[in-house]
Structure 1
Amino acid sequence: MSTITANDPLPQQAAINSAVRHLVQNYSPKGNRVGWLMMASILVEAWDLYSIAFVLIFVREQYNPGPLELGLAAAGTQGGALIGALLGGWMSDKIGRRWMFLGTMTLFVVLALAQAFVSNMTWLIIIRFLLGIPLGSDISTGYTYIMESMAKGQREVMGNRWQFMFAVGEVLTLGVIALFLVFDVDHEIVWRVVLGLGALPALIILVLRHDVPETAVWLVQKGRFKEAKAVAQQMYNDNLAMLPDHDVVLPKPNPTAFIADLRKDPVRWRATLYGWIACFAQGSEFSTFGFYLPVLFTMVGVSSTLGNNLVTMALFCLAAVSGWVGPMLTPRIGHRGIGIAGFAIVLVSLLVAAAALYTDHKYILPFAAAGMLWGHYWDASNCMTIPTMVAKPEYRGTASGFAYMFVKLPSFLAIFLFPSLFTAIGQANATLFVAIFPLIGLLAAIFILPEVYGYEHD
């Protein structure tokens, strides 16, 4: 491999590209450990984003908010995450992956505890909005870290496991709530403790992350070769011999140029475009029908509050299985296969659910919901993986944050406005309306997405 010296600047970019390619092609058990550590933070996000759905009934009992206020309290974290995704992705490229994921977890610990002590709906809305900012930042930073710490093939399977971690977080949340209900704990204590408990796993993850180094890929891209060599030696037992032992000054990439850069390559552009569409479609389908499953079951009289939680917990246990199986199948059927199958299953399931509501066959709803969640945990699995993976390393944080924006924007709007839509047009019509989103995702998977499993930059 060629090396560069201070007096030989022309081969610098070639050597940098060689070092980056060398890093992403080599597997490391420590890289796998780091990948799981990044995935663990999604459990924290799942706990916070969706615990509010399970305790929304108790919040409504205490403060009696209107539909819009109730929706804003539920969607506040999603709105903050929209800002956090964009800000966090850019900051991750600018100041590094490590500082961002340490900072985001610290903020989350503080704000998660704060929401347990709010005195009214206004403060709950404000704190949940602020809480969303580190959550959105952490996802974009975590995906960037995974794509830069693991080899191709392995990184995609790990990235696609985020839905599995969401399901685990949701099951744990429901289990805690069910225990409180069994012991007949006061409903105000239930929702405050459940929301505040998210700080505990966040604190554990913060401690475990403390000694995780900056990614060697980011250090190489910044010309900090001495640190990159040290990190690569620590994680991979490789001193990156193609790089010199001194740092160099490199031009700073313009984060706004990453879209123009994508347009130069039709494969990367189409893959990223699909990622944005899939993020929007899956965020919309879940944040309407899926997010409001507990409320939906209660309104149509499926079960009692405890029974509602147990049914929902069983559904998310099934979703966890789906979230594990989907990534395992990805090497066999590719990203297109997972996307097409997932969106098709969700579309059929929502049509069945709507028919059940129209014909008053409410007993079908749990089965339709099971099918919907199974498909959703496939179609959502790669929508963040693909845009982050195909982006060039210098734009990877920005690309990841931009993609996550397409998850958070529809999630915020859907959770905020769906209660009003639900009330205005009824459960059946609202469910039929939601079927538009998996249809959009399915068409995008068929006609836009090229197969990019194992994609590698030139």
Structure 2
Amino acid sequence: MTSAETSVPQRDNIGEAVRHLVNNYSTKSSSIGWLMLASILVEAWDLYAIGFVLVFIREHYNPAPLALGLAAAATQGGAIVGALFGGWLTDKLGRRIMFLSTMAIFIVLALAQSFVTSIGWLIVVRFFLGIPLGSDPATGFSYIMEFLPKGQRELMGNRWQFVFAVGSMASVGVVALLLLTGMDHELLWRITLGLGAAPALLILVMRRNLPETPVWLIRQGRFREAKQVSLSMYNDPLEMLPDRDIQVAKPSPTAFLADLRRDPVRWRASLYGWIANFCATADFQTFGFYLPVLFAMVGVSTLLGNDLILFCLYGVAAVSGWMAPWITTKVGHRGVGILGFGTVFVALLAAAAALYAGWTSVLPFAAAVMIWGEYLSVSNCMTISTVVAKPEYRGTAGGFSYMFVKLAAFPSIFLFPTIFTAIGQANATLLVSGIALVGLLAAIFILPEVYGFDQEG
């Protein structure tokens, strides 16, 4: 690289090349988009598998309630760290190196949790396991927003909850099958947690030849590599760029928020993404905590019965996640937020009313409607946050937004059981409906329509 800083003409060339790439091409994009989303399945597996086997971990180690809660929530705590710093590293080190490294680290730690010798070690391993899980979505959405064209990138991004639901169904199904075998409970929970390494290894193998995004290379001044990748993928040599690398001033990550504030549309869209990520996670994690309690109220009292009903509910979630992109084309991002959070709010009010009145037969139907709305409401939060971000801040934007998912998940999983016990089922359900109402109001009054947003260079 030259020692000179970026000149004004060079900055113009960079902006022109980035806009040219992100607003024109779609070659190979669908397969790359699905590969980016595949890692969400790994996170879904780990998140829900631990919930299904906690009862067996308790049998084996007999931990204090606080320790058991930490074992479940530790991954979410680690993911807060991973989301914040992983997004920044995605901008600093590159999308490709972060994608490969996060899967490699996850494989090692997923296997390690199967061999822990105490509840304390399980908590420690699961905390560090959360770091790559928290980092990975920021990298994946950066790839999607930089490889896919306008319109298509948003639809692909909105499919992430479909993949999440499939991962949830897979974890429920595997636990149910293992229960049917009569397997020793200690072996069952160790195998269940360690199995997450299998899809992670497959994803790592499939990613090994994935190129760096030309957008990131351009923003780093690595023009020769960017031109090679663009020529290979799009048959476009990016003639507007010189055939030599240059030194480009690197923006400070602390300037990310200040940069957002300069554009009211980008600022309001990002603010909605943070609020919606927090609200959607909080209302689902809290309501999901006592779903087994509600099932018991309507006569389902076995672990296998709970698993089978949850499998059906996540099937509803998968349908919602699959339909989200199509719904986006009809009502836009703002309409998706209003429809999703509005459905969750109404379903939770119905569930609360049923609990107050003792109409337990209503609860499974309310749960199904709630989950359909939940997966719709959260489908576009990460998409919105990353599609409006400038390329130099895209990883940081994705990580910062995903951090709000984990900021909601950790206290919800760890603390809500105490709240639930203190105020009762009906009051707890009414409380959770208030969280959905906040998301609904944010969609109505904060979110501008950004479907088809023209990315900047």
For residues 375-429 of structure 1, what are the alpha-carbon distances to aligned partners after superposition, in whole Å with 9 as ceiling and x for unaligned? 0011000111111110100011111110011110010110010111122222222
The 3 A distance-change label for structure 1 pair 237 and 293 is farther
Name the aligned partner's letter for residue 270 of structure 2.
Answer: T
CA 1:21–1:188 in structure 2 vs 1: closer, same or farther (change >3 Å)?
A: same
CA 183–7 in structure 1, closer or farther in 2 if over 3 Å, else same: closer
Out of 198, 204, 207, the position equivalent to 1:206 is 204
Q: Distance in 2 between matches of 1:129 and 1:287?
A: 18
Please name the residue that 1:35 is paired with.
Answer: 33
Aligned equivalent of 1:321: 319
TM-score, normalised relative to structure 2: 0.96
Name the aligned partner's letter for residue 251 of structure 1: A
5+ residue gaps, structure 2: none
Kindly indicate whether the alpha-carbon contact (under 8 Å) linking 2:387 and 2:455 is maintained by their aligned counterparts in 1: no
Aligned to 2:303: 305
**Where do 1:93-112 residues align within 5 Å?**
93-112=91-110
In structure 1, the partner of 2:454 is: 456
Cα separation, 1, equivalents of 2:103 and 2:292: 28
Equivalent residue for 2:372?
A: 374
Check the 8 A contact 2:22/2:455 in 1, yes or no: no
* Pairing of 1:268-283 with structure 2 (within 5 A): 268-283=266-281
Tell me, yes or no, if structure 1 residue 89 matches structure 2 residue 71.
no
Match of 1:192 in 2: 190
Judge conservation of contact 1:53–1:294 (CA < 8 Å) in 2.
no
State which drifts further: 65-74 or 304-313. Answer: 65-74
Change (3 A) 1:10 1:294: same
Report the Cα distance in structure 2 between the residues aligned to 1:7 and 1:123, rounded to whole angstroms: 49
1:38-437 maps to which residues of 2 (within 5 A)? 38-294=36-292, 296-298=294-296, 301-437=299-435
Q: Is the 8 A contact 2:5 2:248 kept in 1?
A: no
AA in 2 matched with 1:86: L
* CA distance, structure 2, for counterparts of residue 406 and residue 162 of structure 1: 17
| Residue type of the alignment partner of 1:102 | L
- Secondary structure of 1:217's match? helix
**Are residues 68 and 434 of structure 1, via their aligned partners in 2, closer, same or farther at CA, if it must alter by over 3 Å?**
farther
CA contact (8 A) 2:106 2:133 kept: yes
* C-alpha distance in 2 between matches for 1:153 and 1:336: 15
Mapped to 1, the partners of 2:210 and 2:455 lie a distance apart of 26
Count residues in correspondence.
453
| 1:99-154 Cα deviation digits (max 9, x unpaired) | 00110000000000111112222111111111000000111111111111111111
Distance between the aligned counterparts of 2:254 and 2:98, measured in 1? Answer: 20
- 2-structure distance, mates of 1:124, 1:8: 49
Matched letter for residue 261 of structure 2: R
- 2:391 is matched by which residue type in structure 1? P
Distance in 1 separating the partners of 2:385 and 2:370: 24
| Pair 174,388 (structure 1): closer, same or farther in 2 beyond 3 Å | same
Distance 2:51 2:174 in 1: 14
Q: CA deviation at 1:291?
A: 4.7
After superposition, the Cα gap between the structure-2 partners of 1:223 and 1:351, relative to the gap in structure 1 and judged at 3 Å, is: same
Q: Distance in 1 between matches of 2:270 and 2:130?
A: 24
TM-score (norm 1): 0.96
Deviation at 1:67, TM superposition (A): 3.4
